[in-house]
Structure formats: structure tokens, C-alpha cells
Amino acid sequence: MSVVALAPGYTGTVMDSEDRFHGNRLLYIGWEDHLLFCAPVCLPLPGAMPFGALVSDVLPGVYGSHPDFEKVDWSKVEWFDSGKPFTPDAKKSLAENGLGHKSVIRFRTPGLEGIRGSRS
Amino acid sequence: MHDRVWYLSVPKSYFEDAMSAGPFEFITAISFSFEYVLTNLLFMPFMSGAAYNGDMATVTFGFSAQSDESRHMTLGLEVVKFILEQDPDNVPIVQKWVDKWFWRGYRLLTLVAMMMDYMLPKRVMSWSEAWEMYFEKNGGALFEDLARYGIRMPKYHEVASKEKSRISHEAWAIFNNYGHAANFNVWAPKQDEMTWLAEKYPETFDRLYRPRFEWLAEQEKQGKRWFNNTLPMLCQTCQIPTAFTEPDDPTKICYRETSYHGMKYHFCSDGCKDVFEGEPEKYVQAWLPVHQIYQGNCFPEGTDPTVEGFNPLAAVLDYYHIDVGADNGEFNTSPDKANWERWTGQDLSPGEPKVA
């Protein structure tokens, strides 16, 4: 059963429904092998944002402080959506790339192994 | 503050989960799982750590609390045995509660692990040693005793064993990411502290954690103290940032997700995911601090976030009642450090070993 309650038919308020985020949807992003950033980040973004703009305008602000960031070769980056490999189209929007509310993506930058190779 | 500050939602959600669970689950969760199975991990290292460092006020509180705990744990164990003796149909119900509350209590203890390994000037024992002594040995004996009732060891206890060489470092890393938004100071461990950590964690510390702490110390020395300026993903169940790593690979964040009524939910572990999937109608109601901030619910009353130059972080810290520049951020530039040096005559400058 979906909850133990005093009476049948109990439902709870969904606190993070998409309509609560002022026209944005949540996207979680993780940079593999770079645990200096202790966990994936969470960002509210417009579904219409082009994926390319995520890479050029958003990621530098999030990850630019890491010494590996300027070495990233974006043509070789591997992307994952909920752990499955995916090839984003930079010109299409987040929504058109299949990224809905609370999607989680990761990117892997082969050859870059964090601070002194520690995966930090 | 307790119902606003982001990391305080971790213990708050834990206790609210128990309090809204009905009396039988509550007593299994709190008196049995927390105050019996896991209590030693809170009180022994905590109180020993306090005594070892001369904090007698905490020790006094600890002795007082422990006398209550001994009543509660006796009650908890006897109630659980009574329930198990009444009806064999109760066994899977109690097992499910034991599994859930072992995992929730274990995740809550992450903060204790961090405190033991990183925040005591004189350390008593490592988290890894405490887990071995107080859960693997003591807890193991307790569950051997309960086997006659049909109860087995809690699910994922072997994950906790795998994680014992990591969670304190992962947790201190969380606070070194977000210390600018906490109401206590944070710091990178000094060289002598890292020597102790390397000795206690020979398989993980030098390889995985020392490099990032040394990098943080280097940034601070150059006047560029680093903090993470983007909010983290939180686990829907335990509400801790999802900084925990795959049980078999400490270099990879552990991502777990499920879908409920068309929406995704994310977790730090299989244990937390199982809790959600057991009662999703309960956990969809979680007040997750990061999501609440993004919904605009964590600004002081009357704030207008559309004004020019609005600083959301400053507004959130104001909402949290944090005294910026004093309560939060780097220890080495904090009033606490200045006060300590003035009161004790010690010099806590970076590069000097911490004198207890």
C-alpha cells in the first residue's frame, strides 16, 4: 500500500510539482570524477533553454572554479540521462532533448581525473 | 532556525517521519532502532569526544541523557519482543520497520561520523573503528539474539560496512562545499590531522580525500577560499546532499531514482529509495530545502525577489537568521578563532599544529 494511514484513500501534497517553480523545471547535473563538487547540483531552468546555452552560459558558473574545467574538450564529452548514454542536440531545447522536470544528467570528461588524479 | 536551515531538515524529517508513523512503528523506530541498536554510536564517541576535549558541559548532558536512554532501550527491546511473540504475522511488519529505521538512523549518524573524524581537536577513535565496535560487533550480537523470533540483520547493513571508510570524509566535504551557508565554521584539516586520518583510513584517505583538502587549504592560503556556489541535489528521503558514493566504487556518486505518478524522485542509496517506495504518499510531501529555496519560500517575509541587485543567497541566510561573517564560512577568519586565541593564548594559525 502506498502509505500507512488512519483511513483508506489518504494522499499527500506533492511539494515539488513543476507548477511551483515559476515557469522553470528542475535539472540535476553531475560532473563524473570531480567530487570536489560534493554532489550533483540542482538548477531551476526554463524548458525552452537551448541545450547549447546550458553548456556555454550555465556550466562555467557552476564548474569553472575547478582547475580541470578550462581543459574540457566539449567535442569529446560523454553525456548521460538518468545513467543512460544520450547525445544532446545543442540547438534543441532542454525539453526537446527529453529533459523534463527533475531529470538528472551527468557528463564525463575522458582524461580529466580531478585534483591530482583523485577524482576530486 | 530549526525549521529553516537546510541541514537541520535532516534530523527534523527523521523525527517527523517517526512521529507520524503510528505508535508501534514509532517505538520500533526510536526506542529500539535508534535508542538501542544505534545509540552507542551517538553517545559513546560523542560523550567520550567531549570528555577528551574538556567539554564537561556536554558530558554532563550526555550522562543525564544516557540514563533516559537505558530506560528507553529496555522498553524498546521488550516491546519489539512482545510484538514478535504475539503473532507470526507481526514478523515481516517488524522486519520492515527494522530495515527502514536502521537505514534512516544510519544516514542520520553521518553527521556524528563527520564530527568524530574532523571536528574534535583530540580524537577518540575513528568513525570506522566506532562502527566496527558498536554496530558490527555489538549490533551483530543483538541480531543473533533476535534470530529466534525470525528477525534478521537489517537490510543494507553490509553497505554501511563498505561505507565506513568514507562517509565522514564525504560529509566534511559537503560542509566544505556549503560552509558559507551554515551556522558554524568549517576548515580544511591540518597536516597533523591528515596524518591521523591517513593512519585510520589507509585505503581511502591519501588516495581520495587528502588531495581535495590540500587543494582547499591552498586556495585559502591564497585568499581564494573556495565554496560551491550552486545548490546541491538532495536525497528525497534522508534529505542529505547526494554526496554518497556507490557501495563498490568510492569515486562515483551513487545515483538512484524512481518514478511515482509521473514524477521522478532521487535518492542517495538503495536504502533511502526503498523507504520512499514503501510509502510514497508520505515522502512526496518532503520539505526539501533546496527545492523550497527555488520555489521562493526561503526569503524573509516581504522580500521582493524581482528588485534590481537582489541577492538570493543573502536573503536565504537572512531567512536562516545566520550572522554572515561570524556564524558561517571559514574558521581561520572567524570571530570564534579570534576569541579562542584570546581566551587560551594558543595560536591556531594555519601551518601550526592544533594544540589541545
SS (H, E, C) chain B: CCCCCHHHHHHHHHHHHHHCCCHHHHHHHHHHHHHHHCHHHHHHHHHHHHHHCCCHHHHHHHHHHHHHHHHHHHHHHHHHHHHHHHCCCHHHHHHHHHHHHHHHHHHHCHHHHHHHHHCCCCCCCCHHHHHHHHHHHHHHHHHHHHHHHCCCCCCCHHHHHHHCCCHHHHHHHHHHHHHHHCCCCECCCCHHHHHHHHHHCCCCHHHHHHHHHHHHHHHHHCCCCCCCCCCECECCCCCCECCCEECCEEEEECCEEEEECCEEEEECCHHHHHHHHHCHHHHCCCCCHHHHHHCCCCCCCCCCCCCCCCCHHHHHHHHCCCCCCCCCCEHHHCHHHHHHHHHHCCCCCCCCCCCC
Q: Is B300 contained in some domain? A: yes
Instruction: Provide the CATH number for the domain around residue A54.
Output: 3.10.20.560
- The model's pLDDT over B318-351, given as tens digits with 9 standing for 90+, comes to 999 999 999 999 999 999 999 999 998 988 876 6
Q: Is residue B192 part of a domain?
A: yes
Q: Is residue A32 part of a domain?
A: yes
Structural domain contains residue A58? yes
Place of cell 542517495: B268
Residue B354 has pLDDT above 70, yes or no: no
How many distinct structural domains can be found in chain B?
1
Residue A80 domain-assigned? Answer: yes
A1 within a domain of the structure (yes/no):
no
Residue to test with chain A: of B218, B245, B281, B292, most A Cβ within 10 A: B281
Residue A71: domain span: 20-113
The reply to whether B353 falls in a domain is no
Per-residue model confidence (pLDDT) at position B295? 96
Smallest Cβ–Cβ distance between A116 and the set B211, B255, B265 belongs to B211
Find the CATH number of the domain harbouring B164.
1.10.620.20
Give A1's pLDDT tier (boundaries 50, 70, 90): low
Range of the domain at B283: 6-344
pLDDT tens, position by position, B180-193: 999 999 999 999 99
Task: Note whether B286 contacts A: Cβ–Cβ < 8 A.
Answer: yes
Tell me whether residue B111 is in a domain: yes
ipTM of the complex as predicted: 0.97
**Is residue B26 one of the residues assigned to a domain?**
yes
Q: Is residue B349 part of a domain?
A: no
Asked whether residue B351 is domain-assigned, the answer is: no
Specify if A84 maps to a domain: yes
**Which residues between 33 and 62 in chain A have a beta carbon less than 8 angstroms from any beta carbon of chain B?**
33, 35-44, 61-62
For position A49, what pLDDT does the model report?
98
pLDDT in tens, B214-260: 999 999 999 999 999 999 999 999 999 999 999 999 999 999 999 99
* Chain B residue at shortest CA distance from A62: B230
Beta carbons of B215 and A17 less than 8 Å apart: no
Share of chain B above pLDDT 90, in %: 85
In a domain, B352, yes or no: no
Nearest-by-CA chain B residue for A36: B212
Give the predicted TM-score (pTM) of the model. 0.95
A5 inside domain = no
Check pLDDT > 90 for residue B290: yes
pLDDT tens for A85-100 read 999 999 999 999 999 9
